[in-house]
């Protein structure tokens, strides 16, 4: 694009504006002041847009990494509402916790007490009944079943509804006649008594004669005979307990 000149070589004007001829032959009156003003206006607008964009970017900087604006806004609203509800302080929280624990204990303590009572009843029936009905005690022991239970009852427990015996070291007792199987009550009692250092004092006399048999009541290696304790059954048991106090409490 170039200026249009007249025959004298002067610039052709149109409404006081120089005329330019484009490459395709069109004539345009160029308003230089207006163009400058337009350029200045556009530059000002561009600067304003840039400043607004920079300000927006600055505000968005803290929210980098937030992929879901809606979820973030919801979370902020939730926090705001929690703050508005004035959550209870630490002392109140502890009080609420204690009350909750107290309520739970009040609800379940009777259940636990009933459970413990049932366990004791089951133990008394299973273990106590086993001692009172024991054929081994009737045939081989010189002391009554309640004293045998007082001494050895702690070595029997109820597990999965079954009677299980333990030795003094806390090991389960297994059957000698059925390897791999737990010993039943009668066999377990015999095993336990065999390991008891004072078994001669609680078992009936075998009736053997000789230097090692039939020790007197005053001492010796032999066991007492039922006839050594006369009187009624109550007097007999009292005499046995007095003579052999170790039978009255489990070790």
- For the stretch 103-148, pLDDT in tens is 887 777 787 777 777 667 677 778 889 999 999 999 999 999 999 9
- Residue 201 has, within 13 A of its CA and on its CB side, a CA count of 18
Angle, vertex CA 114, rays to CA 111 and CA 117, nearest 5: 150
138 and 51, same structural domain? Answer: no
| Residue 30: band (very low, low, confident or very high) from pLDDT cuts 50, 70, 90 | low
Same domain, yes or no, for 243 and 158? yes
At 99 the pLDDT is 81
Domain stop point among 13, 29, 59: 59
Is 112 a member of any domain? no
Residue 226 lies in a domain: yes
Residue 84: per-residue pLDDT: 52
Average the pLDDT over 69-98 and give the result: 68
The domain in which residue 39 lies consists of 2-59
- Which has the closest alpha carbon to 164: 176, 174, 178? 174
Number of domains the chain contains? 2
Q: Is residue 116 part of a domain?
A: no
Same domain for 52 and 153, yes or no, is no
The alpha-helical segments, DSSP class H, found in the chain are 32-60, 69-84, 90-123, 129-132, 135-140, 145-152, 185-194, 199-202, 233-243
Q: What average pLDDT does this structure show over 44-71?
A: 77
User: Are 139 and 48 found together in one domain?
Assistant: no
Residue at a domain's end among 13, 42, 59: 59
Given pLDDT bands bounded at 50, 70 and 90, which one contains residue 224? Answer: very low
Shared domain for 232 and 142, answered yes or no, is yes
Instruction: Provide the pLDDT for residue 229.
Output: 47
- Identify whether 119 is part of a domain: no
For residue 221, pLDDT over 60 is answered with: no
Between residues 193 and 39, which one has the greater pLDDT? 193
**14, 41, 59 - which closes a domain:** 59
pLDDT tens track for 158-212: 888 888 999 999 999 999 888 889 999 999 999 999 999 999 999 998 654 333 4
Q: Is 183 exposed, middle or buried (0-12, 13-18, 19+ CB in 10 A)?
A: buried
Predicted local confidence at residue 211, as pLDDT: 37
**Percent of the chain scored above 90 by pLDDT?**
24
Residues 47 and 152 placed together within one structural domain of the fold: no
Between CA 234 and CA 239, with CA 235 as vertex, the angle to 5 degrees is 120
In a domain, 243, yes or no: yes
Is the residue at 121 inside a domain?
Answer: no
Comparing 235 with 65, the larger pLDDT belongs to 65
Q: Classify residue 216: in a domain, yes or no.
A: yes
The mean pLDDT of the chain is 75
Full-model pTM? 0.41
């Amino acid at each position: 694009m170039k200026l249009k000149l007249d025959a004298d070589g002067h610039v052709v004007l149109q409404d006081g504006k120089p005329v330019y001829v484009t490459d395709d032959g069109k004539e345009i009156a160029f308003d230089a002041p207006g163009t400058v003003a337009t350029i200045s206006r556009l530059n000002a607008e561009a600067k304003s847009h840039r400043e607004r964009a920079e300000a927006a970017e600055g505000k968005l900087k803290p929210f980098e990494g937030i992929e879901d604006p809606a979820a973030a806004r919801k979370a902020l609203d939730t926090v705001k509402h929690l703050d508005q509800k004035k959550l209870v302080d630490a002392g109140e929280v502890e009080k609420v916790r204690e009350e909750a624990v107290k309520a739970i204990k009040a609800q379940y303590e009777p259940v636990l007490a009933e459970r413990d009572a049932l366990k004791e009843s089951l133990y008394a029936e299973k273990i106590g009944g086993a001692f009172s009905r024991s054929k081994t005690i009737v045939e081989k022991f010189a002391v009554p079943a309640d004293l045998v239970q007082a001494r050895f009852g702690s070595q029997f427990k109820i597990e999965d509804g079954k009677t299980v015996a333990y030795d003094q070291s806390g090991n389960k007792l297994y059957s000698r006649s059925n390897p791999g199987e737990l010993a039943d009550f009668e066999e377990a009692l015999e095993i336990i008594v065999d390991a008891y250092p004072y078994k001669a004092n609680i078992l009936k006399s075998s009736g053997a004669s000789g230097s090692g048999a039939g020790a007197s009541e005053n001492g010796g290696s032999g066991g007492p005979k039922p006839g050594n304790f006369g009187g009624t059954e109550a007097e007999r048991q009292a005499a046995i307990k007095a003579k052999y106090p170790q039978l009255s409490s489990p070790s």
